[in-house]
Amino acid sequence: MIKERTLVVVKPDGVQRSLIGEITGRFERVGLKLVGVKMIVPTKEFIETHYTIDPEWRRITGEKTIKSYKEKGQTPPSEDPLEITGIILNHLKNYMITGPVVAMVWEGVHAVKIVRKLVGSTEPLSSDVGTIRGDYVIDSYQLSDKDGRAVRNLIHASGTVDEANKEIDLWFKKEELIDYKLVQDKILYDVNLDGMLE
Ligand code: GDP
Ligand code: MG
């Protein structure tokens, strides 16, 4: 059984909305294990490092954004993906340093995909009902772009196992992550559910 670890960050709006417990509870109740947690106020430099940890992020996000503008019949602010990401990154830097954020590392099988499923898609307007972004926040690219700010989507979660490993290394020192057993691990992962009856 291959366990994965993934990074979750409750963004400043999530902390200000008093949603730390609600968000944490969703990962706990699905059966994931919290192996690291801390509260910090990030710097702009740190946020830029975080979002550009994947060297392709600027290009991919820029292209994705241009495509979504065109799908809605709107004109993107630029045809250059890197210029678009420059704007998005600036907004993210202003947003993420406004107050404390809570960074967490969650462990379990398929942790990366399970967390992304619970978090929901990036833009709250289209995040499914039942997901964190779908249930607890209303915002859209249309509104955030008009106001010249980042979309307030409460939470960051690693997109892939590779991204998760890099992000965890960035946010946490080795000694801040704790290996331990949870009693429920047996029920979630053991092949035989024996030993239950007295
Ligand atoms: P995430 O992994 O779901 O957070 O999404 P991405 O990694 O694709 O993007 C990171 C952040 O960039 C998001 O949380 C948004 O703040 C911002 N972002 C991504 N795509 C768009 C977009 O199309 N428009 C705008 N305005 N912001 C975007
Ligand atoms: Mg991402």
- Give domain status of residue 182, yes or no: no
Task: Give dist(CA 34, CA 103) in Å, integer.
Answer: 11
Atom index in ligand 1 nearest the CA of residue 95 equals 16
- Give domain status of residue 12, yes or no: yes
CATH of the domain at 167: 3.30.70.141
pTM equals: 0.95
* Alpha-carbon separation of residue 43 from 26, 53, 69, 75, 172 (angstroms): 28, 15, 30, 32, 15
Any atom of ligand 1 within 6 Å of the Cβ of 151: yes
- Give domain status of residue 183, yes or no: no
- Give domain status of residue 188, yes or no: no
- Give domain status of residue 163, yes or no: yes
* Enclosing domain of residue 143: 5-174
Over the stretch 49-85, which tens digit does the pLDDT of each residue have?
999 999 899 999 999 999 999 998 988 989 999 999 9
Q: Is 50 a catalytic residue?
A: no
- Give domain status of residue 191, yes or no: no
Mean pLDDT, the chain, whole residue set: 95
Over the stretch 157-196, which tens digit does the pLDDT of each residue have?
999 999 999 999 999 999 999 999 999 999 999 988 888 8
Asked if residues 5 and 107 have their Cβ atoms less than 8 Å apart, the reply is: yes
Domain count, the chain: 1
